[in-house]
Amino acid sequence: MRHVTVLGATGSIGLNTLDVIGRHPDRFDVFALTACRQVDSMLSLCQRFRPRYAVMAEPSAALELAERLPEEAGVEVLAGTEGLEAVASSPDCDTVMAAIVGAAGLAPTLAAVRSGKRVLLANKEALVMSGRLFMDAVAESGAELLPIDSEHNAIFQCLPPGQSRDLPGAGVRRILLTASGGPFRETSAEALQQVTPDQACAHPNWSMGQKISVDSATLMNKGLELIEACWLFDTRPDQVEVHVHPESIIHSMVEYVDGSVLAQLGSPDMRTPIANGLAWPERIDAGVDSLNLFDIGRFHFERPDLERFPCLRLASEAFRLGGTAPAVLNAANEEAVAAFLRGELGFTGIPAVIESVMASIATVPADEFPVIFEKDRESRARSAEQIRHHAVSVSGLG
Protein backbone atom coordinates (compact mmCIF):
# COMPACT_ATOMS: atom_id res chain seq x y z
CA MET A 1 0.00 0.00 0.00
CA ARG A 2 1.37 3.42 -0.98
CA HIS A 3 0.47 6.43 1.18
CA VAL A 4 0.14 9.38 -1.15
CA THR A 5 0.23 13.15 -0.69
CA VAL A 6 -1.25 15.05 -3.63
CA LEU A 7 0.15 18.60 -3.81
CA GLY A 8 -2.23 20.63 -6.00
CA ALA A 9 -5.13 18.18 -5.55
CA THR A 10 -7.81 20.54 -6.92
CA GLY A 11 -5.96 21.13 -10.21
CA SER A 12 -6.08 19.26 -13.48
CA ILE A 13 -3.21 16.89 -12.59
CA GLY A 14 -4.40 16.55 -8.99
CA LEU A 15 -7.90 15.48 -10.03
CA ASN A 16 -6.53 13.03 -12.63
CA THR A 17 -4.26 11.57 -9.95
CA LEU A 18 -7.21 11.09 -7.61
CA ASP A 19 -9.17 9.48 -10.43
CA VAL A 20 -6.42 6.85 -10.85
CA ILE A 21 -6.04 6.40 -7.07
CA GLY A 22 -9.82 5.97 -6.73
CA ARG A 23 -9.66 2.99 -9.13
CA HIS A 24 -7.17 1.16 -6.88
CA PRO A 25 -8.18 1.41 -3.21
CA ASP A 26 -6.21 -1.80 -2.56
CA ARG A 27 -2.95 -0.11 -3.66
CA PHE A 28 -3.19 3.55 -2.68
CA ASP A 29 -4.30 5.42 0.38
CA VAL A 30 -4.56 9.24 0.39
CA PHE A 31 -2.45 10.64 3.23
CA ALA A 32 -2.85 14.36 2.44
CA LEU A 33 -4.43 16.69 -0.10
CA THR A 34 -3.37 20.29 -0.72
CA ALA A 35 -4.76 23.30 -2.61
CA CYS A 36 -4.48 27.08 -2.51
CA ARG A 37 -7.94 28.67 -2.18
CA GLN A 38 -10.63 26.45 -3.80
CA VAL A 39 -12.47 25.46 -0.60
CA ASP A 40 -15.58 23.93 -2.24
CA SER A 41 -13.51 21.58 -4.36
CA MET A 42 -11.26 20.63 -1.44
CA LEU A 43 -14.26 19.97 0.77
CA SER A 44 -15.74 17.46 -1.63
CA LEU A 45 -12.34 15.77 -2.16
CA CYS A 46 -11.93 15.43 1.62
CA GLN A 47 -15.38 13.89 1.94
CA ARG A 48 -14.61 11.38 -0.79
CA PHE A 49 -10.98 10.46 0.00
CA ARG A 50 -10.83 11.04 3.78
CA PRO A 51 -7.16 12.11 3.93
CA ARG A 52 -5.43 12.47 7.29
CA TYR A 53 -4.52 16.09 6.41
CA ALA A 54 -5.90 18.82 4.13
CA VAL A 55 -3.68 21.84 3.53
CA MET A 56 -4.76 25.20 2.10
CA ALA A 57 -1.82 27.42 1.16
CA GLU A 58 -4.02 30.46 1.72
CA PRO A 59 -4.62 30.81 5.51
CA SER A 60 -8.14 32.30 5.18
CA ALA A 61 -9.14 29.34 2.98
CA ALA A 62 -7.75 26.96 5.62
CA LEU A 63 -9.93 28.61 8.28
CA GLU A 64 -13.01 28.31 6.08
CA LEU A 65 -12.28 24.66 5.29
CA ALA A 66 -11.79 23.82 8.98
CA GLU A 67 -15.16 25.43 9.80
CA ARG A 68 -17.03 23.61 7.04
CA LEU A 69 -15.49 20.13 7.44
CA PRO A 70 -17.60 17.96 9.75
CA GLU A 71 -15.60 16.67 12.71
CA GLU A 72 -16.50 13.05 11.92
CA ALA A 73 -14.58 13.35 8.62
CA GLY A 74 -11.43 13.05 10.77
CA VAL A 75 -9.40 15.42 8.57
CA GLU A 76 -6.89 17.80 10.18
CA VAL A 77 -6.58 21.14 8.36
CA LEU A 78 -3.20 22.87 8.04
CA ALA A 79 -2.24 26.17 6.39
CA GLY A 80 0.54 27.88 4.48
CA THR A 81 3.90 26.76 3.15
CA GLU A 82 4.75 25.08 6.48
CA GLY A 83 1.64 22.91 6.13
CA LEU A 84 2.55 22.00 2.55
CA GLU A 85 6.10 21.08 3.53
CA ALA A 86 4.91 19.10 6.57
CA VAL A 87 2.64 16.80 4.55
CA ALA A 88 5.20 16.46 1.73
CA SER A 89 7.90 15.28 4.14
CA SER A 90 5.90 13.34 6.76
CA PRO A 91 7.33 9.90 7.59
CA ASP A 92 3.77 8.55 7.24
CA CYS A 93 3.69 9.19 3.50
CA ASP A 94 5.95 7.54 0.91
CA THR A 95 4.72 9.01 -2.40
CA VAL A 96 4.21 12.66 -3.33
CA MET A 97 2.50 13.92 -6.48
CA ALA A 98 4.09 17.35 -7.11
CA ALA A 99 1.30 19.11 -9.03
CA ILE A 100 1.22 22.67 -7.70
CA VAL A 101 1.50 25.11 -10.59
CA GLY A 102 4.54 27.37 -10.84
CA ALA A 103 7.30 28.46 -8.47
CA ALA A 104 4.98 28.04 -5.46
CA GLY A 105 5.58 24.29 -5.84
CA LEU A 106 9.33 24.40 -5.35
CA ALA A 107 9.52 24.45 -1.52
CA PRO A 108 7.05 21.58 -0.90
CA THR A 109 8.45 19.49 -3.78
CA LEU A 110 11.93 19.98 -2.39
CA ALA A 111 10.70 18.97 1.08
CA ALA A 112 9.48 15.69 -0.46
CA VAL A 113 12.77 15.19 -2.31
CA ARG A 114 14.87 15.86 0.79
CA SER A 115 12.83 13.29 2.73
CA GLY A 116 13.61 10.62 0.13
CA LYS A 117 10.07 10.07 -1.15
CA ARG A 118 8.92 8.70 -4.47
CA VAL A 119 8.30 12.08 -6.12
CA LEU A 120 6.04 12.20 -9.17
CA LEU A 121 7.10 15.41 -10.86
CA ALA A 122 4.46 17.34 -12.79
CA ASN A 123 5.55 20.75 -11.43
CA LYS A 124 8.25 21.32 -14.07
CA GLU A 125 8.77 24.94 -12.95
CA ALA A 126 10.39 23.69 -9.71
CA LEU A 127 13.06 21.81 -11.66
CA VAL A 128 13.53 24.58 -14.25
CA MET A 129 14.18 27.13 -11.50
CA SER A 130 16.64 25.15 -9.47
CA GLY A 131 18.06 22.53 -11.91
CA ARG A 132 21.37 21.35 -10.50
CA LEU A 133 20.50 22.00 -6.84
CA PHE A 134 17.26 20.05 -7.26
CA MET A 135 18.99 17.08 -8.91
CA ASP A 136 21.77 17.17 -6.26
CA ALA A 137 19.09 16.99 -3.56
CA VAL A 138 17.57 13.94 -5.32
CA ALA A 139 20.98 12.23 -5.42
CA GLU A 140 21.75 13.04 -1.77
CA SER A 141 18.44 11.84 -0.31
CA GLY A 142 17.96 8.84 -2.61
CA ALA A 143 14.49 10.12 -3.58
CA GLU A 144 12.89 8.30 -6.50
CA LEU A 145 12.10 11.01 -9.06
CA LEU A 146 9.62 9.90 -11.74
CA PRO A 147 8.54 12.22 -14.58
CA ILE A 148 4.82 12.86 -15.06
CA ASP A 149 4.96 15.36 -17.92
CA SER A 150 3.71 13.13 -20.76
CA GLU A 151 6.80 13.74 -22.92
CA HIS A 152 9.30 13.01 -20.16
CA ASN A 153 7.33 10.03 -19.00
CA ALA A 154 7.41 8.77 -22.60
CA ILE A 155 11.20 9.24 -22.79
CA PHE A 156 11.58 7.49 -19.42
CA GLN A 157 9.53 4.55 -20.75
CA CYS A 158 11.69 4.37 -23.93
CA LEU A 159 14.98 4.21 -21.98
CA PRO A 160 16.42 1.00 -20.48
CA PRO A 161 15.43 0.66 -16.79
CA GLY A 162 18.04 2.19 -14.49
CA GLN A 163 19.77 4.12 -17.30
CA SER A 164 17.68 7.25 -17.52
CA ARG A 165 20.66 9.38 -16.45
CA ASP A 166 23.29 7.54 -18.48
CA LEU A 167 22.32 8.18 -22.09
CA PRO A 168 25.81 7.53 -23.57
CA GLY A 169 25.96 4.22 -21.67
CA ALA A 170 22.51 3.32 -22.94
CA GLY A 171 23.56 4.00 -26.55
CA VAL A 172 21.22 6.96 -27.02
CA ARG A 173 21.95 9.31 -29.91
CA ARG A 174 19.21 11.89 -29.29
CA ILE A 175 15.79 12.59 -27.82
CA LEU A 176 12.90 13.60 -30.06
CA LEU A 177 10.67 15.78 -27.86
CA THR A 178 7.21 16.10 -29.38
CA ALA A 179 4.98 19.19 -29.16
CA SER A 180 1.37 19.65 -30.22
CA GLY A 181 2.11 23.16 -31.52
CA GLY A 182 -0.83 24.51 -29.47
CA PRO A 183 -3.98 26.24 -30.66
CA PHE A 184 -2.12 28.87 -32.77
CA ARG A 185 0.12 26.56 -34.79
CA GLU A 186 -1.31 27.92 -38.02
CA THR A 187 -2.09 31.48 -36.86
CA SER A 188 -0.21 34.29 -38.62
CA ALA A 189 2.19 36.52 -36.67
CA GLU A 190 -0.17 39.44 -37.21
CA ALA A 191 -3.25 37.60 -35.96
CA LEU A 192 -1.34 36.42 -32.85
CA GLN A 193 -1.42 40.00 -31.57
CA GLN A 194 -5.21 39.82 -31.21
CA VAL A 195 -5.74 36.37 -29.66
CA THR A 196 -7.70 36.22 -26.40
CA PRO A 197 -7.15 34.23 -23.17
CA ASP A 198 -10.15 32.02 -24.01
CA GLN A 199 -8.65 31.12 -27.39
CA ALA A 200 -5.24 30.48 -25.81
CA CYS A 201 -6.74 28.17 -23.17
CA ALA A 202 -8.68 26.11 -25.73
CA HIS A 203 -5.98 23.52 -26.38
CA PRO A 204 -6.78 21.28 -29.36
CA ASN A 205 -5.81 17.97 -27.66
CA TRP A 206 -5.30 18.34 -23.90
CA SER A 207 -7.50 19.64 -21.09
CA MET A 208 -5.18 21.41 -18.61
CA GLY A 209 -4.90 24.26 -16.12
CA GLN A 210 -4.86 27.82 -17.48
CA LYS A 211 -1.16 28.56 -16.99
CA ILE A 212 0.15 25.49 -18.83
CA SER A 213 -2.49 26.01 -21.54
CA VAL A 214 -1.09 29.49 -22.26
CA ASP A 215 2.45 28.09 -22.04
CA SER A 216 1.48 25.52 -24.68
CA ALA A 217 0.11 28.27 -26.89
CA THR A 218 3.33 30.36 -26.68
CA LEU A 219 5.57 27.22 -26.86
CA MET A 220 7.11 28.28 -23.53
CA ASN A 221 5.85 24.93 -22.28
CA LYS A 222 8.18 23.22 -24.77
CA GLY A 223 11.01 25.51 -23.67
CA LEU A 224 10.45 24.59 -20.02
CA GLU A 225 10.27 20.93 -21.07
CA LEU A 226 13.54 21.19 -22.97
CA ILE A 227 15.23 22.39 -19.78
CA GLU A 228 13.38 19.73 -17.76
CA ALA A 229 14.61 17.00 -20.15
CA CYS A 230 18.22 18.16 -19.86
CA TRP A 231 18.13 17.92 -16.06
CA LEU A 232 16.09 14.72 -15.79
CA PHE A 233 18.11 12.77 -18.36
CA ASP A 234 21.48 14.50 -17.77
CA THR A 235 21.80 15.56 -21.38
CA ARG A 236 22.58 18.63 -23.50
CA PRO A 237 20.00 20.73 -25.37
CA ASP A 238 21.65 19.92 -28.72
CA GLN A 239 20.75 16.26 -28.11
CA VAL A 240 17.06 17.12 -27.73
CA GLU A 241 15.18 18.02 -30.89
CA VAL A 242 11.65 19.42 -30.74
CA HIS A 243 9.23 17.89 -33.27
CA VAL A 244 5.82 19.49 -33.65
CA HIS A 245 3.34 16.59 -33.92
CA PRO A 246 -0.19 18.05 -33.98
CA GLU A 247 -1.99 14.75 -33.24
CA SER A 248 -0.35 14.44 -29.75
CA ILE A 249 -0.36 10.64 -29.97
CA ILE A 250 3.40 10.05 -29.95
CA HIS A 251 4.41 11.55 -26.61
CA SER A 252 8.17 11.56 -27.43
CA MET A 253 10.87 9.30 -28.86
CA VAL A 254 14.41 8.11 -28.17
CA GLU A 255 16.86 7.44 -31.01
CA TYR A 256 19.68 4.95 -30.41
CA VAL A 257 23.11 4.78 -32.10
CA ASP A 258 22.04 1.77 -34.18
CA GLY A 259 19.30 3.87 -35.81
CA SER A 260 16.40 2.41 -33.79
CA VAL A 261 13.83 4.96 -32.69
CA LEU A 262 11.59 3.95 -29.76
CA ALA A 263 8.36 5.87 -29.23
CA GLN A 264 5.65 5.83 -26.59
CA LEU A 265 2.12 6.30 -27.94
CA GLY A 266 -1.22 6.80 -26.28
CA SER A 267 -4.36 8.89 -26.18
CA PRO A 268 -3.72 12.41 -24.87
CA ASP A 269 -4.83 11.59 -21.31
CA MET A 270 -2.62 12.45 -18.32
CA ARG A 271 -3.92 9.44 -16.39
CA THR A 272 -1.50 7.26 -18.42
CA PRO A 273 1.74 8.88 -17.19
CA ILE A 274 0.22 9.36 -13.72
CA ALA A 275 -0.64 5.65 -13.42
CA ASN A 276 2.81 4.79 -14.76
CA GLY A 277 4.45 6.86 -12.03
CA LEU A 278 2.17 5.73 -9.21
CA ALA A 279 2.59 2.01 -9.90
CA TRP A 280 6.06 1.94 -11.49
CA PRO A 281 7.52 -0.54 -12.38
CA GLU A 282 4.14 -2.28 -12.54
CA ARG A 283 1.28 -1.39 -14.89
CA ILE A 284 -2.21 -0.62 -13.63
CA ASP A 285 -5.51 0.32 -15.26
CA ALA A 286 -5.70 4.11 -15.68
CA GLY A 287 -9.24 4.28 -17.05
CA VAL A 288 -7.86 5.25 -20.47
CA ASP A 289 -9.52 3.86 -23.61
CA SER A 290 -7.58 1.82 -26.17
CA LEU A 291 -5.84 3.81 -28.86
CA ASN A 292 -7.68 3.63 -32.18
CA LEU A 293 -5.03 4.19 -34.86
CA PHE A 294 -7.53 3.49 -37.65
CA ASP A 295 -9.48 6.59 -36.59
CA ILE A 296 -6.33 8.71 -36.28
CA GLY A 297 -5.06 7.57 -39.69
CA ARG A 298 -1.97 9.79 -40.13
CA PHE A 299 0.82 11.36 -38.11
CA HIS A 300 2.39 14.69 -39.08
CA PHE A 301 5.65 16.35 -38.04
CA GLU A 302 7.05 19.84 -38.55
CA ARG A 303 9.78 22.06 -37.12
CA PRO A 304 8.78 24.66 -34.50
CA ASP A 305 8.56 28.23 -35.80
CA LEU A 306 10.85 30.24 -33.52
CA GLU A 307 9.96 33.52 -35.23
CA ARG A 308 6.26 33.38 -34.34
CA PHE A 309 6.95 31.60 -31.03
CA PRO A 310 10.10 33.16 -29.53
CA CYS A 311 9.50 31.66 -26.05
CA LEU A 312 11.13 28.36 -27.07
CA ARG A 313 14.26 30.27 -28.15
CA LEU A 314 14.25 32.31 -24.91
CA ALA A 315 14.12 29.15 -22.81
CA SER A 316 17.05 27.58 -24.73
CA GLU A 317 19.03 30.77 -24.20
CA ALA A 318 18.26 30.77 -20.47
CA PHE A 319 19.48 27.18 -20.17
CA ARG A 320 22.65 28.01 -22.14
CA LEU A 321 23.30 31.01 -19.85
CA GLY A 322 22.84 28.70 -16.85
CA GLY A 323 23.00 29.86 -13.21
CA THR A 324 19.95 31.88 -12.22
CA ALA A 325 18.82 32.62 -15.81
CA PRO A 326 16.16 29.85 -15.95
CA ALA A 327 14.68 31.06 -12.63
CA VAL A 328 14.47 34.60 -14.03
CA LEU A 329 12.86 33.29 -17.24
CA ASN A 330 10.35 31.22 -15.28
CA ALA A 331 9.27 34.05 -12.96
CA ALA A 332 8.93 36.53 -15.85
CA ASN A 333 6.84 33.99 -17.74
CA GLU A 334 4.54 33.37 -14.75
CA GLU A 335 3.97 37.11 -14.31
CA ALA A 336 3.46 37.75 -18.04
CA VAL A 337 1.01 34.83 -18.40
CA ALA A 338 -0.97 36.00 -15.35
CA ALA A 339 -1.16 39.53 -16.86
CA PHE A 340 -2.30 38.08 -20.20
CA LEU A 341 -5.04 36.07 -18.43
CA ARG A 342 -6.18 39.24 -16.60
CA GLY A 343 -6.42 41.05 -19.96
CA GLU A 344 -3.56 43.43 -19.10
CA LEU A 345 -1.07 42.21 -21.70
CA GLY A 346 -1.40 41.04 -25.30
CA PHE A 347 -0.34 37.52 -26.30
CA THR A 348 2.77 38.71 -28.15
CA GLY A 349 3.61 40.86 -25.12
CA ILE A 350 4.44 37.66 -23.19
CA PRO A 351 7.78 36.95 -24.96
CA ALA A 352 8.50 40.70 -25.17
CA VAL A 353 8.24 41.07 -21.38
CA ILE A 354 10.33 37.94 -20.75
CA GLU A 355 13.06 39.04 -23.17
CA SER A 356 13.42 42.51 -21.65
CA VAL A 357 13.40 41.14 -18.08
CA MET A 358 16.09 38.59 -18.96
CA ALA A 359 18.22 41.30 -20.56
CA SER A 360 17.96 43.51 -17.47
CA ILE A 361 18.92 41.00 -14.76
CA ALA A 362 22.48 39.75 -14.32
CA THR A 363 22.93 35.97 -14.28
CA VAL A 364 24.81 34.69 -11.23
CA PRO A 365 25.71 31.13 -10.20
CA ALA A 366 22.71 29.27 -8.73
CA ASP A 367 24.68 27.62 -5.96
CA GLU A 368 22.17 27.98 -3.14
CA PHE A 369 18.38 28.19 -2.91
CA PRO A 370 18.17 31.70 -1.34
CA VAL A 371 19.94 33.09 -4.45
CA ILE A 372 17.30 31.47 -6.67
CA PHE A 373 14.41 32.83 -4.57
CA GLU A 374 15.99 36.31 -4.62
CA LYS A 375 16.28 36.25 -8.44
CA ASP A 376 12.69 35.00 -8.66
CA ARG A 377 11.57 38.07 -6.65
CA GLU A 378 13.73 40.45 -8.70
CA SER A 379 12.36 39.02 -11.94
CA ARG A 380 8.74 39.44 -10.75
CA ALA A 381 9.34 43.08 -9.76
CA ARG A 382 11.00 43.83 -13.12
CA SER A 383 8.19 42.01 -14.95
CA ALA A 384 5.55 44.19 -13.26
CA GLU A 385 7.33 47.29 -14.64
CA GLN A 386 7.59 45.76 -18.10
CA ILE A 387 3.95 44.66 -18.11
CA ARG A 388 2.88 48.24 -17.26
CA HIS A 389 5.14 49.54 -20.03
CA HIS A 390 3.71 47.11 -22.62
CA ALA A 391 0.12 47.74 -21.51
CA VAL A 392 0.64 51.50 -22.01
CA SER A 393 2.25 50.93 -25.42
CA VAL A 394 -0.66 48.73 -26.50
CA SER A 395 -3.26 51.30 -25.42
CA GLY A 396 -1.43 53.89 -27.53
CA LEU A 397 -0.64 56.21 -24.61
CA GLY A 398 3.06 55.41 -24.38
Q: Which is nearer to ligand NDP, 9 or 361 (CB)?
A: 9
CB of 123 to ligand NDP, least distance (A): 4
CB of 221 to ligand NDP, least distance (A): 7
Q: Which is nearer to ligand NDP, 155 or 390 (CB)?
A: 155
Side-chain-side CA neighbours of residue 295 (13 Å) = 6
Q: Which is nearer to ligand NDP, 17 or 90 (CB)?
A: 17
Q: Which is nearer to ligand NDP, 253 or 274 (CB)?
A: 274
Helices (H) and strands (E) in the chain, counts: 18, 11
Q: Give SS3 for 316.
A: helix
CB of 206 to ligand NDP, least distance (A): 5
CB of 289 to ligand NDP, least distance (A): 17
Cβ partners under 8 Å of residue 273, min gap 6: 147, 148, 149, 150, 153, 154, 251
Q: How far apart are CA 107 and CA 86, in angstroms?
A: 11
Residue nearest to ligand NDP according to CB distances in the complex: 11
CB of 45 to ligand NDP, least distance (A): 10
Return the H-helix or E-strand segment holding 32: strand 28-35
CB of 37 to ligand NDP, least distance (A): 5
Q: How far apart are CA 143 and CA 201, in angstroms?
A: 34
Q: Which is nearer to ligand NDP, 49 or 390 (CB)?
A: 49
Q: How many residues does the chain have?
A: 398
CB of 33 to ligand NDP, least distance (A): 9
Site of interaction with ligand NDP (CB under 6 A)? 8-14, 35-38, 57, 99-101, 104, 122-125, 149, 206, 208-209, 211-212, 270
The greatest distance separating any two alpha carbons of the chain, rounded to the nearest whole angstrom, comes to 62
Q: Which is nearer to ligand NDP, 64 or 255 (CB)?
A: 64
Q: Which is nearer to ligand NDP, 149 or 255 (CB)?
A: 149
Cβ partners under 8 Å of residue 209, min gap 6: 11, 12, 13, 101
The closest alpha carbon to 158, from 221, 233, 237, belongs to 233
Q: How far apart are CA 324 and CA 233, in angstroms?
A: 20
Q: How far apart are CA 356 and CA 370, in angstroms?
A: 23
